[in-house]
Structure 1
Amino acid sequence: MRFKFMNFKLPPIRFEFLIPLLSVFAVTTPLHASEEQRWQQAIDHAAQAVLAIRVDAPRSFDTGINNSVQATGFVIDAEQGIVLTNRHVVQPGPTVAKGVFLNREEIKLIPIYRDPIHDFGFFKYDPKALTYNKPQALDLLPEAVQRGREIKVVGNDGGEQLSILSGTIARLDRPAPVYGRGNFNDFNTFYIQAASATSGGSSGAPVIDIEGNVIALNAGANMRNAASFYLPLDRVVHAFERIRDGVEMTRGTLQATFRYQPYDELKRLGLSDEYEAQVRAQDPAAIGLLTVAYLVPEGPSDGLFKAGDILLKINDEWVRHFISLEAMLDQHVGDDISVVIERAGKQLTLVLKVQDLNEITPSRYIDVGGAILHDLSYQQARSFNIPVAGLYVAYGGYMLSNELIGRGNVITSIAGHEVNTVDEAEAVLQTISDGERFSVRFFQLVNPRQQIQRVVTMDRRWFPASSCYRDDVKGVWPCEEWPAQLRVSKPQSSATRFVTSETPALQRMAQSLVQVNFDMPYVVEGITETRYTGAGLLIDIDRGWVLVDRDTVPTTLGDVTIIFAGSLEVPGKVEFIHPQHNIAMVSYDPALIGDTPVRNVTFSDEPLAPGDDVWLIGSKMNQKLISHKTTVAEIDMFSLPMPSVPRYRATNLEVISLTSQASTVGGVLTDKDGAVQALWSSFGYQRNNKFGSMVIGVPTAVVQDQLRWQQQAVSSVITRTIASELNFVPLNEARKRGLDNEWALAMEAHDLETRHVLQVIRVEAGSPAAAVLEGGDLILAIDGNVVTTFLAVERAAQRAELKVTLLRGGDIIEVDLQTEPLDGVGLKRFVSWAGAIFHRQQREIAAQRGRDDEGLYVSWIWKGSPAAHYGVYPSGRLTELEGVAISDLDGFVARLNETAGRASVRVKMVSLNGKETMLTLKLDNQYWPAFELRHDDERGWQRAGI
């Protein structure tokens, strides 16, 4: 059975709250008042103390993940401003919260306590900060709960600010709901059940009776029926009284889970008649006792308790239920206790030491390489039946996720050093240099018996490293940055040899093919995947130049590694990203590969045609080179679906398909001697909101043109374009549109094998072409020369001005077209602010969506950030900040500095279809400080605060 918490994820828009402000009445009710009046007074009294809580969890931690949710809380001490809610609302890790009373007055909440086991916690607010609301505290009365009692749940159900749900208490002894392994789970307590059909947003709501007393705390619900689960308040009251009075809240544990079982089952477990009689005499209403359900390995009770043991006494006092058990443990933290049990009809007296539960509840983490690491918690250890030891990966981040070490893994060794705590891990990690490789041994929680080892590369460039701890007084997690590293690990020169092959083409190409890996630390330019692998082609071994496709290196922001012969791995860097075609250039330092016998690829000038035999030479994911003889099936126009988010999409290209092919990540098509006739390139695409890739042939003529123009360039401009997407229209269709016979014959004579005309599909907004070209235009000639191929148009476009002959609306016209210069520099600067990443708009927005508005593109939003909370959305554009138009990153950073002291700011967002939205953001510089990423030729990428 699946259950859910009553958290409610924040929508990207604000709710309309339709519940009016209710008056506050005294709880005292005249004896003659009707039941309806009494309920009305109770509800009014509860409503004025209830808050709709909006929580941002900026970091994943233990059982919680970074997210933004809504829930409920209520005032239980108006003088000190103490608010009761659920533990899963307070969150186990960093929390930023605010509460909104019914009169819409907002107050800052700081977390002051979250119970390690039970689903309750406390926030605190400053009562003096309230101007328009003076709430009256609700009374907690756990003894008033009873079966058959009518109740109301007053909370933020469904994010509606205030909802009132009715029910009848059906059970007082329901086992604690199980929310699934790896999630927070309550235990060693009963729950109360009623069919009140609570849903998202009502976590932490008060469960009140007709007298206005809070008799339970709403916590969860069954997803398949109306059953709701409430936490009893006995231990809540105990914790509240200590915290209210400033007394330390001690929590003890034996690392044992107990189960309440009735007498009939206890008899089968071996309960003697003597003890049954004594227990029944102590509490005639009781129907059972606690038994040991299971133990955490290596805990205080492991090896002493056994499953099925019947718990009778602790320190000579009868323990008949969870409340008395927990009270006894909390009173004796660090002490030895005498425990009397009955096991298979035999009485045993055991001595156990009560462990401090807070010691096995993490309150500190390290943030390194984007990963969040902390001590494994008792919650997780209990869920997976493993000892409470090791370093838990709450979030893999960039550094660990690159090696498939993610959330739910437990690290046991770093760089050969055993680590059981976050302190031990920090001591080792601080000795490792940026770029240095080190081993990590870990296991997955779902399979703790299998140890896994990976080699990780230390990252101190993309993400700063820090140590953070919980401060319950201030309600924040202060962080201390690690000392700056003065040294960077430098790669050493080495060499390798290539495998030999009896296939001449493979033997020749083996020395010219490499595998290229690319890792992206941040999501930019609409590219949501962060790890890429593909084939690279050596085109200049003196400069270390490697040609790859843009499905291997999609952007300039990232780390490049190049693997030779499946053996030698060296770092690389991005030289250029082609703005139109599916090619990019990376490079390596030739000195790092020593005397490795590499060779430049040889291109063939012979174009391929259908029916030609070719050899597909490619690299598999495991770096093995393969050779596959096949035949060219056809050469035709290439068309990819339009992505929902603007990102690179190949256009204006004819590609080669084969009669058969082998599975590779890329490679080349060669003749029998190994001369390259086409690239076998991977193309990324998006269809139905799913990303995929396909490998297909690209004629070398396209590539050779681009390489020649790039090498001849005297500036950053490497190509020019007519800034239009084209396709083929059959010649008969062109005749229907008004193409006369003279032009039709000229088109036929120009290209004897094809019968088509080039059509303009869309024109890039804001380009010179947008002023003279229209969708549906048929391009007949450029500068008086008939053109029927994409390549012919591209070659002609390398001139600055063109005279283009078009068929438009049945008429032949000529237009003067200025071509647009393009560079291969790519984006070299990004800014992160409020938990979002911004950069200048990529060409794809104008090319694919026809928009050339001003503003900065939002490429990524981190969950749990102000940007996510207040509705900033990926693929939107920020056009205004605090009333000032934003057109570039310089203006954006300047405006950020001008508004740095403000707690909240106004921003205008524009969607891809032009819809404008004004948002207000409350900033959080504690967890989401602004920074920028900037590239220069000397130092490469650098991260700096703003």
Structure 2
Amino acid sequence: MIVRLHVHVPPICMIDGVHAKHFTGAGVVIHHSDSLGLIAVDRNTVAISISDIMVSFAAYPIEIPGQVIFLHPFHYFALVAYDPLTLGVGASVIRASKLLTEPALRRGDSVYLVRLIDSLHAKSRKSIVTNWQAINICSSDFPRYHAMNTEVIELDTDSDIELSGVLTDEQGRVQALWASISSQLFGCGKEGDHQFVVGIPIHLISQVLEKIISGAPGPFRLINGIRRPMPFVRLLEVEIYPTLLTEASNYGLSDRWVQALAEKDPERRQVLQIIGCFAGSKAETLCEGDMILAIDKKPITCFLDIENACQKLDHSVGSDGMLNMTIFRQGKEIDLMVGTDVRDGNGTTRMVNWCGCIVQNPHSAVRALGFLPKEGHGVYVSRLCWKSHP
């Protein structure tokens, strides 16, 4: 079931580089029970946790409040909770969408793109998957939330239309969240905010959903009057971008590794390369330009490989949170023990507004720049407002 969210950010809470006060977008109901409803939505609709949210349901004419409970640090989606009791008799009408939990889509596959035209009507059309595109969208001047280390789905359709929704198969099972992405462009006469739409694979969202439903350990949130644990996420806090094997070979990567990576992933034929390391990250042993060849001697070719390796640490008895990585650096193959970080999905939860100066902890987009002062790095001026006087 698709819903529409109307989001208002109070002016006093313009944190984390949020660029507007009002947002509207579509989400999908991924869980609905007697005590808890959950909606998955893109970060261009729910940008920060401190927001006032109203939810309208396409299949039932009612609007109820929502609560942000999870913001993924990398994958550009948020989870919003609602109280099913506020729906009254409509609670029996609402149904959670069926999710395909495995990354099954490939180039050339047929999907149905379903989008909300208005608050009560949805429209679908058949489309073809044309590409899986690695995406790292950064803000050049004003650091804010952005997609990172994520492979998104592109279609043979009018992707410039800013209507979010879902991608489904013929049985109506959700395969991806059709998400609105926001970025900043500078130069070439295109300055300002730019928006486009892509598919975020639903298995990235279902992994978090499973942890919430099972009550995995994490920080507690009061949701609909009930204290519930929200999951932690283990991450390799570096920005990564794929490099074609042909280019990596020009940098000196051996034929043995080129062949091994190509055999592991003959469709992508790529190697992952480090763009930069987060300030304060435990992955500080990695350097810009490093190519990730393997983890535990197994070839690595995509972001999902790294995420699976990080999740494996959570299930390993006595794990110290370290990945045994093989990298290619300056013409040499090196084995390194690289640390991972555990983050929650709360986003920024504390800020101070003093005379128009909004102060907070440095959020992830700031740390992604790779530098924090050794002293006093716990303070970041998110926004400075003032009025001129005659």
Query: TM tier, shorter chain?
Result: 0.7 to 0.9
What amino acid maps onto 2:71 in structure 1? I
Equivalent position of 1:783 in the other structure? 296
Counterpart residue identity of residue 628, structure 1? R
Letter in 2 for 1:533: T
| Secondary structure of 1:797 counterpart | helix
**Contact 2:56–2:119 (CA under 8 A) maintained in structure 1:** no
User: CA shift at 1:816, angstroms?
Assistant: 0.5
Distance (Å, rounded) in 2 between the aligned partners of 1:759 and 1:711: 35
User: How many angstroms does 1:863 deviate by?
Assistant: 2.5
- Aligned match for 1:850, one of 371, 375, 384: 371
1:690 is aligned, of 168, 171, 192, to 192
The structure 2 residue matched to 1:864, chosen from 379, 387, 390, is 387
In structure 2, what is the equivalent of residue 648 of structure 1? Answer: 145
Aligned to 2:209: 707
Shift of 1:794: 1.4
Q: 1:652, 1:790 within 8 Å by CA — same for their partners in 2?
A: yes
What residue in structure 2 maps to residue 820 of structure 1?
A: 341
The aligned amino acid for 1:848 is: L
- Contact kept, 8 Å, 2:30 with 2:99, in 1: the verdict is no
Contact 1:607–1:699 at 8 Å: present in 2 too? no
**Deviation readout 1:776-804 (Å, 9 max, x if unpaired):** 00000011111100111112123211111
Aligned residue in 1 for 2:308: 795
- String of CA shifts for 1:355-388, please: whole Å, max 9, x gaps: xxxxxxxxxxxxxxxxxxxxxxxxxxxxxxxxxx
Residue of structure 1 equivalent to 2:67 = 573
C-alpha spacing 1:641/1:843, structure 2 compared with 1 (3 Å): closer
Q: Which amino acid aligns with 2:384?
A: I
What is the SS of the residue equivalent to 1:704? helix
Aligned partners of 1:687 and 1:606: how far apart in 2?
Answer: 31
Q: 1:564 aligns with which of 57, 62, 66?
A: 57
1:602 aligns to 2:75 (yes or no):
no
Q: Does 1:723 align with 2:233?
A: no
Deviations 1:653-711 (A, max 9, x none): 11111111474531111111201111101111111251132111122222223333455
Instruction: Tell me how far apart the structure 2 counterparts of residues 740 and 710 of structure 1 sit (CA, whole Å).
Output: 44
8 Å contact kept, 1:738–1:810: yes
Amino acid at match of 2:23: Y
Whichever residue aligns with residue 356 of structure 2, its letter is G
Q: 1:621 to 1:852 in 2, by over 3 A?
A: farther
**In structure 1, C-alpha distance between the alignment counterparts of 2:269 and 2:356, rounded to whole Å:** 53
Q: 1:562 to 1:852 in 2, by over 3 A?
A: farther
Aligned to 2:6: 517
Cα distance, 1:865–1:524 mapped onto 2, change above 3 Å: farther
Tell me which of the two structures has the higher relative contact order, counting C-alpha pairs closer than 8 angstroms and 6 or more residues apart: 2
Change (3 A) 1:862 1:606: closer
Aligned to 1:633: 130
Q: Which amino acid aligns with 2:302?
A: T
Matches within 5 A, 1:285-434: none
TM-score, length of structure 1 as denominator length: 0.36
CA distance change for structure 1 residues 606 and 574 in 2, over 3 Å: closer, same or farther? closer
Shift of 1:595: 2.5
Q: Does the C-alpha gap of structure 1 residues 621 and 848 become closer, same or farther in structure 2, counting only changes over 3 Å?
A: farther
Aligned mates of 1:763, 1:795 — CA distance in 2: 20
Task: Supply the distance in 1 between the matched residues of 2:344 and 2:205 (Cα, whole angstroms).
Answer: 16
- Cα separation, 2, equivalents of 1:721 and 1:515: 30
DSSP 3-state at the match of 1:656: strand
- Which structure has the bigger radius of gyration? 1
| Residues in 1 aligned to 2:48 and 2:120: alpha-carbon distance in whole angstroms | 23
**Residue equivalent to 1:840:** 361
Provide the residue aligned with 1:365 in structure 2.
Answer: none
Superposed CA offset, 1:805-840 (max 9, x none) = 000011000111110011011112221112211111
2: CA distance, partners of 1:706 / 1:649: 19
Gaps of 5+ in 2: 220-230, 314-320
1-side partners of 2:77 and 2:378: how far apart? 28
| Cα deviation code 1:822-880 (max 9, x no counterpart) | 101111222111221111111211113533551422222233279xx9xxxxxxxxxxx
Q: Secondary structure at the match of 1:769?
A: coil
**Offset at 1:773?**
0.2
Task: Give the whole-Å Cα distance in 1 for the aligned partners of 2:89 and 2:298.
Answer: 50
Q: Distance in 1 between matches of 2:118 and 2:180?
A: 13
Distance 1:646 1:710, change over 3 A: farther
Question: Which of residues 25, 31, 41 is equivalent to 1:534?
Answer: 25
CA contact (8 A) 1:766 1:852 kept: no
8 A contact 2:136–2:146 mirrored in 1: no
Alignment correspondent of 2:40: 547
Give the AA of the match of 1:786: P
Contact 2:103/2:201 (8 A) holds in 1: no
1:775 is paired with a residue whose SS is coil
Q: Which residue of 2 aligns with 1:592?
A: 86
Query: Equivalent residue for 1:114?
Result: none
Aligned residues: 355
3-state secondary structure, aligned to 2:283: helix
Does structure 1 residue 764 correspond to structure 2 residue 255? no
> Is contact 1:616–1:661 with CA below 8 Å preserved after alignment?
no
Q: Do the aligned residues in 2 keep the contact of 1:829 with 1:839 (CA within 8 Å)?
A: yes
Cα contact 2:358–2:384 (8 A) shared by 1: yes
Mapping 1:265-284, distance limit 5 Å: none
Is the Cα contact below 8 Å between 1:520 and 1:531 reproduced in 2?
Answer: yes
In 2 relative to 1, CA 611–706 (structure 1 residues): closer, same or farther, beyond 3 Å?
A: same
> What is the aligned partner in structure 1 of residue 108 from structure 2?
611
CA 1:674/1:852 → structure 2, altered by over 3 Å: closer, same or farther?
farther
Provide the rounded CA distance (Å) in 2 between the counterparts of 1:856 and 1:530.
23
Task: Report the secondary structure of 2:232's partner residue.
Answer: strand
RMSD across aligned positions (CA):
2.0
Aligned partner of 1:752 among 263, 266, 270:
266
| Partner of residue 35, structure 1 | none
Give the conservation status (yes or no) of the 8 Å contact 1:668–1:680: yes
Cα contact 2:114–2:123 (8 A) shared by 1: yes
One-letter code of the match for 1:537?
V
Displacement, 1:759? 0.3
Tell me the alpha carbon deviations over residues 746-790 of structure 1, each in whole angstroms, 9 at most, x when there is no partner.
Answer: 1111112121100001110121112x1000000000111111001
Q: Is the 8 A contact 2:74 2:150 kept in 1?
A: no
Deviation at 1:638, TM superposition (A): 2.0
1:620, distance to aligned residue in structure 2 (A):
2.9
Cα distance change of structure 1 residues 775 and 623 upon mapping to structure 2, 3 Å threshold: farther
Distance 1:710 1:742 in 2: 42
Letter in 1 for 2:330: G
1-structure distance, mates of 2:141, 2:208:
29
Residues in 2 aligned to 1:585 and 1:803: alpha-carbon distance in whole angstroms: 32
Distance in 2, matches of 1:703 and 1:603, equals 9
CA contact (8 A) 2:277 2:370 kept: no
Larger displacement relative to structure 2 (754-763 or 712-721): 712-721
8 Å Cα contact 2:107-2:129 kept in structure 1: yes
2:317 corresponding residue in structure 1: none
2:126 match: secondary structure: strand
Aligned-partner SS, 2:53: strand
SS of corresponding position for 1:734: helix
Tell me the percent identity.
34
